[in-house]
């Protein structure tokens, strides 16, 4: 079928500029009088600031917290019962709480000169005992990250059920400690912000690399004490976000303040070193888990404790608590069992403030849960894939409310596992393992299945009581005089293709080709309110809003067209960008022309809203719609070196109705690449003094093209009963499963050596040390 | 991450560079491909008052044959060696090694001379040149001299250059037709610096056999006893010989390190003896 509507593999509209170097990023902007800003960051993880001395004569070019008159700290509250509030000062006040925390900023013609100025600032710091990890933070003699807290716990959550009967009766009990390292999100473009004062509009204009422009506007208004009407947040192209750009950044507030104070343009661009140190803010989880199962490996209950190293402050608006709260809520994953106990601890340390990274908590919980399933299978002597399948929520149980109250709306989880098992050639892999490899490497196959809560909305966020709760998502759809369409939405594209996919939704309803549909995103002055791009919500929420607005617009077009064609509105149909009634037809431009240029031709009583519609949309449930997938990996482990090669990788995924399968596949490839980074390479280690040890890309290893397998992606399409067109979110999913599938594959390969790996990443040195230790123990 | 202020001078020839260096004194520093200097200056770990750019000195970009040795100019890039754009005295070893350094953008600019002077223990050329029995040609205010590659590198990031000197060429003997080599670099990913390097060159016609272990904390290690065993063709004894020599030379290394050193050496030896 021709057309550019939902389900079509339409080539991405944005790619022509993005892949030919014609995109515009914050760093590309030019502006007369623009000055560059560098931040002086704390060299120590934990220190009292006794004195900061500006270089001679640089009083108006170097700024510290005291200079920022009237600027309030970033404040992320939550109504969760045990939550402790921490103010996040935009420049450190009193204490520095992590290495990399901004202490001062310097302004100059060039970034190099601004860095010169930073070097000339004298810092007098009194070092305090660093709290470099959760275990240190929890020890009774540790100091406090926040002096007014009674301990270093930001949040505790508890789901409690009595497991004593299982303890007494379960045939199989498995205990594991599982860890995932701290890491960075590493978008190709780091953070960046430029701000200036627009005299004509009497507005502070803040151009920021942000996923959440409207949230940033609200946050800036709070921190700067400026009414929202005087603030415009604008976006240009954004080179990846992944959650890193989904919070209000202290640097955004600082640059905005400079522009406000001096009525001139200022800019800061995060460099890679700042990202690697001050931005090492995600994924660090620690698990202690006890699982109970029957003799077939059927999971009966789970007893878990989860510690999240949340760093020094709570980010706005999501706070530091959603990570652990989501970990506790999502650990059961796609599995059906009846007894669950889980305690989570969000522990403050002297590290950068934790932020939600693609998959938020779920890569960690999936990593933990999938290892447990495999460990149970090994314990009962069955195939992990079989045991996994038997434990999944079955198709007949859908819709299913799980042990933590998640409402799995639809889908056949087991079918995705069978799909990936077939794709990966499971039986052939098992055969190949029998023969052994000529080069001495060991082959292993591993699986992981997950659910991805997407587009969770008002009720979920309201239950956390955080500063901003998403509600109705709005989008504007407008027909132009010449029959084109303009879509405006407050959500932000960070590379995920929304300029194309939102156009496809409008095209589906109006049949106008996407080439004639302009999509404008993010700019708070031009778009209706949206809380932005996060939580795999874009296509569900903004797609739903565009759909709803386009449908209302379609009604209005029909009414005018019916008048022009002298027929009933009900007889009008849209076909390939034309308006038809029987043999008669009109162009959309005829209707556009009537409204804008020839109003004398309009029917009496025409809808005065004209050809521009803004509607608000929410799915039928606030609790999220659940995408899911299974991943399978085949690895070869070199037992002599610990080196892992991924030989094959397959995905069977279901995100409901695919607006553009090519874009879905793009999300699968990109997310999997990031997940492989988490699994095998990426790590931001800290020493006992809280000093980051990976401060350049020489130490922080990212997977490159040679390390990534060519992944195969197979789709299932179970429509959500709750959303427009049956769409589910898909942005985060593929980053969730790779660490789990890969660790299970590695452990499958190493089984004969009596070695089991339980951490991510899994560098060769770690695998080799475990192999050598096992050999030592055996001899 | 922008460099501190510095002056820029271009040198058209080695003599020019020597003159500039002596004029600039301590504050002057050579820059060739900039692939190590650039990052160090951006991180402000290196803060030269002035840089002397030798990448445009044609004499340093040439490969010549003086009858005995092939001289690879200091400013020949990894990429040129990889592509076979310059004569190769090593029967394929140099292009093989070059292709495994970093990624292409770095190889397009990074030079063999810059690499040996930078003397990162985990870099490829320092180990390779020792294995090939290369000499390093040097010129300075007091004229020119030549040093064996294994004597040139003194430790991590330190070489036997004195102020005002620069490296002009790598002087490599031509491998004979019977010669063979093996090179095993163990690293986290393609193009990454090495965790261990085994480099082996066997050239019976020239009575030459070297086994070198690189990717250590300091200078690469020449394993003489293993080399003798390789030369004698004592195949069966080699794994134990390698293990023992590592144990003797690097007793402090962690067990995991000793293990990968052994693997790199065994694989390189096996590749060389075929
Ligand atoms: C991302 C990345 C990955 C890399 N991976 C590897 C790898 O896998 N293996 C590897 O071996 N290397 C690797 N390198 C290093 C690379 O090979 C560099 O090119 C090399 O170390 C320096 O050569 P250069 O010409 O760029 O020297 P420069 O950076 O210009 O100079 C380096 C040093 O040598 C001095 N110098 C340069 N030329 C001379 C001369 N002729 N005489 C005297 N002094 C001189 C300079 O003063 C400076 O101190 C990597 C580099 C990068 C950026």
CB contact under 8 A, A681 and B188: yes
Please indicate, yes or no, whether residues B49 and B78 belong to a single structural domain of this protein: no
Q: Is A182 within a domain?
A: no
Looking at the fold, whether B198 and B223 belong to one and the same domain comes out as yes
pLDDT of residue A598: 97
Supply the range of the domain harboring residue B131: 62-173
Residues B259 and B223 in one domain: yes
Cα separation of A81 and A465, whole Å?
Answer: 10
The pLDDT tens digits of the residues spanning A211-222 come to: 999 999 999 999
What does the radius of gyration of chain B's CA atoms come to, in whole angstroms?
A: 19
Q: Is the pLDDT of residue A534 over 70?
A: yes
- Asked if A250 and A103 sit in the same domain, the reply is yes
Distance from CA of A707 to the nearest CA of B (A): 7
Q: How far is CA A199 from the centre of its chain?
A: 36
Domain assignment present for residue B255? The answer is yes
A1 within a domain of the structure (yes/no):
no
CB contact under 8 A, B4 and A112: yes
Q: What is the 3-state secondary structure (H, E, C) of chain B?
A: CCCCCCEEEECCCHHHHHHHHHHHHHHEEEECCCCCHHHHHHCCCCCCCEEEECCCCHHHHCEEECCCEEEEECCCEHHHHHHCCCCCCCCCHHHHHHHCCCCHHHHHHCEHHHHHHHCCCCCHHHHHHHHCCCEEEEEECCEEEEEEHHHHEEECCEECCCCCCEEEEEEEECCCCCCEEEEEEECCCCCCCCCEEEEEEEEHHHCEEEEEEECCCCCCEECHHHHHHHHCCCCCCHHHHHHHHHHHHCCCCCHHHHHHHHHHHHHHHHHHHC
Residue in chain A closest to B254 (alpha carbons) equals A769
Cα(B126) to centroid(ligand 1), Å: 11
Same domain, A238 and A345: no
Q: Write out the residue range of the structural domain in which residue A56 sits.
A: 31-128+191-269
Q: Does residue A563 contact residue A554 with C-beta atoms inside 8 Å?
A: no
CB of B206 within 8 A of CB of B173?
yes
Residues A448, A507 share a domain: no
Looking at the complex, does the CB of residue A201 fall below 8 Å from at least one CB of chain B?
A: no
Give domain status of residue A502, yes or no. yes
Nearest CA to ligand 1 atom 27: B114
ipTM: 0.96
Answer yes or no: are the C-beta atoms of A526 and A542 closer than 8 Å.
no
Q: Is A305 contained in some domain?
A: yes
Check the CA dihedral B173-B178-B184-B190 and report its sign: positive
Q: pLDDT category, A744, cuts 50, 70, 90?
A: very high
> From CA A574, how far away is CA A766, in angstroms rounded?
62
List of chain A residues whose C-beta atoms are within 8 Å of the C-beta of residue B1: 115, 271-274
pLDDT of residue B136: 98
User: Do A611 and A635 share a domain, yes or no?
Assistant: no
pLDDT tens string A125-156: 999 999 999 999 999 999 999 999 999 999 99
A240-262 b/e with 16+ CB inside 10 Å = b? bbbbbbbbbbbbbbbbbbbbbee
Which CATH number is A350's domain given? 3.30.365.10
The whole-number pLDDT of residue A564 equals 97
Mark whether B20 and B106 lie in a shared domain: no
Residue A334, in any domain of the structure: yes
Nearest CA to ligand 1 atom 10: B123
- Note the pLDDT tens digit of each residue in A5-51: 999 999 999 999 999 999 999 999 999 999 999 999 999 999 999 99
Specify whether B166 is located in the same domain as B185: no
- Measured between CB atoms, does B2 come within 8 Å of chain A? yes
Question: Does residue B152 form part of some domain?
Answer: yes
pLDDT of residue B250: 97
What confidence category does residue A78 fall into, taking pLDDT thresholds of 50, 70 and 90? very high
| End position of a domain, from candidates B173, B202, B228 | B173
Q: Is A774 at the interface with chain B, CB within 8 A? A: no
Interchain contact, A116 vs B5, CB within 8 Å: yes
Is position B240 within any domain? Answer: yes
B1 occurs within a structural domain: no
For residue A757, is it within any domain?
yes
- Residue A550 and residue A442 in one domain: no
CB-based contact A772 B255, cutoff 8 Å: yes
Q: Based on the domain organization, do A443 and A505 belong to the same domain? A: no
Q: Name the residue with the closest Cα to ligand 1, atom 1.
A: B102
Determine contact: A709 vs chain B, CB below 8 A. no
Q: Are residues B137 and B67 in the same domain?
A: yes
If asked whether residues A261 and A208 sit together in one domain, one would say yes
Asked if pLDDT for residue B212 goes beyond 90, the answer is: yes
Q: Which positions ≥6 away from B254 have C-beta within 8 Å? A: none
- Min Cα distance B219 → chain A (Å) is 20
Residue A136 is assigned to a structural domain of this protein:
no
| Ligand 1 atom at minimal distance to the Cα of residue B40 | 29
Question: Which of A115, A681, A708, A779 would you mutate first to test chain B, the one with the most B CBs within 10 A?
Answer: A115
The 10s digit of each residue's pLDDT in B92-147 is 999 999 999 999 999 999 999 999 999 999 999 999 999 999 999 999 999 999 99
Q: Residue A436 has what pLDDT?
A: 94
A49, A116: one domain: yes
Residues B67 and B156 in one domain: yes
Of B1, B191, B259, the CB nearest to A768: B259
**What percent of chain A has a predicted confidence (pLDDT) above 90?**
99
Could A703 and B189 be called an inter-chain contact, meaning their C-beta atoms sit closer than 8 Å? yes
Determine contact: B263 vs chain A, CB below 8 A.
yes
Within this chain, do residues B30 and B116 fall inside the same structural domain, yes or no? no
Q: Say which CATH number the domain at B168 has.
A: 3.30.465.10
Last-in-domain residue among A617, A639, A659: A617
Q: Does residue B5 sit at the A interface (CB-CB below 8 Å)?
A: yes
Contact B256 A110 (CB under 8 A): no
A371 and A435 housed in the same domain: yes
From A564, A594, A617, give the residue that closes a domain. A617
Question: Of all residues in chain A, what percent carry a pLDDT higher than 70?
Answer: 100
pLDDT, tens digit (0-9, with 9 covering 90-100), for A619-628: 999 999 999 9
Cβ-defined contact of A641 to B3 (cutoff 8 Å): no
Q: Which of B103, B256, B266, B270 best probes binding to A when mutated, by most A CB atoms within 10 angstroms? A: B256
For A724-736, write each residue's pLDDT tens digit. Answer: 999 999 999 999 9
Q: Are residues B71 and B109 in the same domain?
A: yes
Nearest Cα residue to B182 out of B206, B204, B209: B209
The CATH number of whichever domain residue A76 belongs to comes to 3.90.1170.50
Residues with CB under 6 A from ligand 1: B 29-37, 39, 54, 74, 101-102, 106, 109-111, 113-115, 117-118, 123-125, 166-167, 191-193
For residue B274, what pLDDT band results from cuts at 50, 70 and 90? Answer: confident
Q: Is B251 on the interface with A (CB under 8 A)?
A: no
Please name which of A753, A654, A676 lies closest in space to residue A412, comparing C-alpha atoms. Answer: A654
Residues B133 and B83 in one domain: yes
Choose the residue to mutate in B102, B185, B196 for probing ligand 1, maximizing ligand atoms within 8 Å of C-beta. Answer: B102
pLDDT value of position B67: 86
Of A269, A294, A320, the one marking the end of a domain is: A269
CATH at residue B200:
3.30.390.50
Rounded mean pLDDT, A574-591 = 97
Size of interface A-B (CB pairs under 8 A): 62
Tell me: pLDDT of A1 over 60: no
Beta bridge partners of B7: B50
Task: From chain B, pick out residues whose CB is under 8 angstroms from the CB of A698.
Answer: 39, 193
Number of independent structural domains in chain B: 3
On whether residue A152 sits in a domain, the answer given is no
Identify whether residues A345 and A394 lie together within a single domain. Answer: yes
In this predicted structure, the answer to whether residue A469 has a pLDDT above a threshold of 80 is yes
Q: Say if strands A102-108 and A62-64 run parallel, antiparallel, or are unpaired.
A: antiparallel
User: Do residues A387 and A533 both lie within one domain?
Assistant: no
Last residue of a domain, one of B173, B193, B209: B173
Q: Which of A272, A697, A698 to mutate to test the pocket of ligand 1 (most atoms within 8 A of CB)?
A: A698
pLDDT at A321: 86
> Does B195 contact A at CB distance below 8 Å?
yes
Q: Copy the structure tokens of residue A2.
A: 């021709």
Same domain flag for B104 and B139: yes
B236 and B145 within one domain: no
Domain CATH for B39: 3.30.43.10
The number of folded domains in chain A is 3
Identify the pLDDT of residue A37. Answer: 98
CA distance A765 to chain B (A): 7
Does B186 contact A643 at a Cβ distance shorter than 8 Å?
A: yes
B192 touches chain A (CB under 8 A): yes
B264: nearest CA partner in chain A: A641
Q: Which residue of B has its CA nearest to A271?
A: B1
- Closest residue, chain B, to A764 (C-alpha): B188
**pLDDT tens digits, residue range B181-208?**
999 999 999 999 999 999 999 999 999 9
| Residue B118 forms part of a structural domain | yes
CA distance A659 to A353: 35
Same domain, A723 and A574: no
Distance CA B30, CA B17 (A): 8
């Amino acid at each position: 079928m021709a057309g550019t509507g939902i389900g079509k593999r339409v080539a991405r509209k944005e790619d022509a500029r993005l892949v030919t170097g014609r995109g515009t990023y914050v760093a590309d902007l030019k502006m007369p009088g623009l000055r560059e800003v560098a931040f002086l960051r704390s060299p120590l993880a934990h220190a009292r600031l006794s004195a900061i001395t500006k270089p001679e004569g640089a009083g108006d070019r170097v700024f510290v917290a005291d200079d920022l008159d009237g600027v309030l700290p970033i404040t992320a509250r939550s109504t969760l019962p045990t939550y402790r509030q921490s103010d996040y000062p935009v420049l450190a006040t009193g204490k520095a709480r992590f290495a990399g925390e901004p202490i001062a900023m310097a302004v100059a013609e060039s970034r190099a000169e601004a860095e010169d100025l930073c070097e000339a600032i004298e810092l007098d710091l009194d070092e305090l005992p660093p709290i470099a990890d959760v275990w240190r933070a929890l020890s009774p003699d540790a100091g406090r990250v926040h002096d007014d807290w009674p301990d270093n716990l930001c949040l505790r959550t508890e789901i409690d059920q009595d497991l004593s009967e299982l303890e007494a009766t379960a045939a199989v009990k498995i205990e594991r400690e599982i860890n995932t390292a701290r890491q960075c999100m590493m978008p190709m473009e780091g953070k960046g912000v430029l701000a200036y004062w627009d005299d004509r509009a009497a507005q502070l204009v803040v151009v920021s690399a942000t996923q959440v422009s409207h949230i940033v506007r609200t946050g800036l208004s709070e921190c700067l004490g400026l009414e929202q009407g005087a603030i415009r947040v604008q976006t240009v192209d954004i080179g990846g976000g992944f959650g890193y750009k989904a919070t209000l950044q202290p640097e955004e507030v600082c640059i905005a303040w400079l522009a406000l104070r001096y009525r001139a343009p200022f800019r800061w661009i995060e460099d890679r070193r700042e990202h690697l140190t001050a931005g090492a803010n995600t994924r660090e989880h620690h698990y202690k888990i006890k699982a109970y199962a029957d003799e077939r490996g059927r999971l009966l209950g789970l007893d878990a404790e989860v510690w999240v190293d949340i760093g020094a402050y709570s980010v706005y608006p999501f706070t530091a608590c959603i990570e652990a709260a989501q970990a506790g809520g999502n650990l059961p994953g796609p599995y059906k069992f009846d007894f669950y106990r889980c305690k989570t601890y969000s522990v403050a340390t002297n590290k950068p403030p934790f932020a939600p990274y693609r998959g938020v908590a779920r890569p960690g919980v999936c990593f933990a849960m999938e290892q447990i399933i495999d460990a149970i299978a090994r314990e009962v002597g069955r195939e992990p894939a079989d045991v996994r399948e038997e434990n999944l929520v079955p198709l007949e149980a859908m819709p299913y409310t799980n042990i933590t109250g998640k409402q799995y709306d639809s889908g056949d989880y087991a079918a995705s596992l069978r799909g990936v098992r077939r794709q990966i050639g499971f039986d052939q892999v098992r055969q190949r393992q029998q023969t052994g490899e000529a080069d001495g490497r060991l082959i292993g196959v591993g699986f992981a299945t997950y659910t991805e809560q997407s587009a969770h909305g008002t009720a979920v966020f309201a239950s956390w009581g955080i500063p901003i709760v998403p509600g109705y998502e709005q989008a504007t759809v407008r027909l132009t005089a010449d029959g084109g369409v303009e879509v405006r939405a407050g959500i932000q594209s960070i590379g995920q293709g929304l300029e194309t996919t939102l156009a496809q939704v409008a095209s589906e309803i109006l049949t106008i080709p996407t080439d004639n549909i302009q999509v404008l995103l993010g700019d708070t002055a031009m778009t209706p309110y949206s809380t932005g791009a996060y939580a795999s919500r874009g296509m569900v929420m903004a797609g739903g809003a565009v759909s709803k607005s386009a449908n209302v617009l379609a009604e209005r077009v029909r009414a005018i067209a019916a008048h022009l064609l002298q027929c009933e509105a009900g007889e009008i149909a849209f076909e390939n960008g034309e308006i038809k009634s029987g043999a008669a037809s009109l162009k959309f431009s005829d209707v556009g022309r009537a409204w804008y240029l020839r109003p004398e031709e309009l029917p009496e009583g025409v809808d005065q809203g004209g050809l521009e519609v803004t509607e608000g949309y929410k799915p039928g449930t606030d609790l999220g719609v659940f995408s899911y997938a299974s991943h399978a990996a085949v690895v070869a482990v070199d037992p002599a070196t610990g080196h892992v090669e991924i030989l094959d990788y397959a995905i069977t995924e279901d995100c409901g109705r695919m607006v553009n399968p090519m874009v879905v596949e793009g999300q699968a490839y990109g997310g999997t690449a990031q997940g492989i980074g988490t699994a095998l390479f990426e790590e931001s280690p800290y020493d006992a003094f809280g000093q980051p040890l990976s401060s350049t890309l020489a130490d922080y290893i990212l997977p490159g093209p040679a390390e990534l397998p060519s992944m195969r992606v197979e789709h299932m399409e179970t429509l959500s009963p709750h959303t427009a067109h049956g769409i589910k979110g898909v942005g985060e999913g593929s980053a969730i499963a790779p660490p789990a599938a890969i660790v299970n594959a590695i452990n499958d390969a190493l089984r004969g050596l009596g070695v089991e790996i339980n951490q991510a990443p899994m560098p060769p040195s770690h695998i080799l040390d475990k192999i050598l230790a096992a050999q030592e123990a055996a001899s | 991450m922008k460099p501190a202020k510095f002056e820029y001078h271009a040198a058209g020839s080695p003599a020019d560079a020597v003159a500039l260096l002596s004029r600039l004194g301590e504050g002057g520093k050579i820059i060739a491909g900039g692939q190590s200097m650039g990052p160090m200056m951006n991180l402000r770990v290196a803060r030269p008052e002035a840089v002397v750019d030798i990448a445009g000195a044609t004499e340093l970009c040439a490969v010549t044959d003086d009858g005995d040795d092939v001289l690879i100019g200091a400013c020949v890039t990894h990429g040129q060696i990889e592509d076979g754009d310059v004569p190769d005295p090593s029967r394929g070893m140099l292009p093989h090694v070059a292709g495994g350094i970093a990624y292409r953008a770095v190889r397009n600019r990074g030079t063999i001379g810059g690499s040996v002077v930078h003397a990162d223990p985990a870099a490829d050329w320092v180990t390779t040149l020792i294995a090939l029995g290369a000499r390093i040609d040097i010129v300075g205010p007091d004229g020119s001299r030549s040093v064996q590659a294994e004597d040139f590198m003194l430790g991590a990031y330190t070489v036997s250059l004195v102020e005002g000197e620069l490296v002009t060429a790598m002087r490599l003997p031509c491998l004979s037709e019977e010669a063979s080599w093996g090179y095993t670099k163990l690293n986290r990913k393609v193009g990454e610096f090495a965790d261990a390097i085994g480099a082996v060159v066997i050239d019976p016609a020239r009575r030459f056999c070297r086994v070198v272990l690189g990717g250590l904390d300091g200078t690469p290690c020449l394993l003489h006893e293993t080399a003798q065993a390789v030369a004698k063709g004592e195949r069966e004894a080699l794994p134990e010989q390698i293990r023992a020599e590592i144990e003797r030379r690097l007793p402090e290394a962690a067990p995991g390190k000793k293990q990968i050193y052994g693997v790199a050496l065994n694989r390189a030896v096996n590749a060389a003896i075929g």
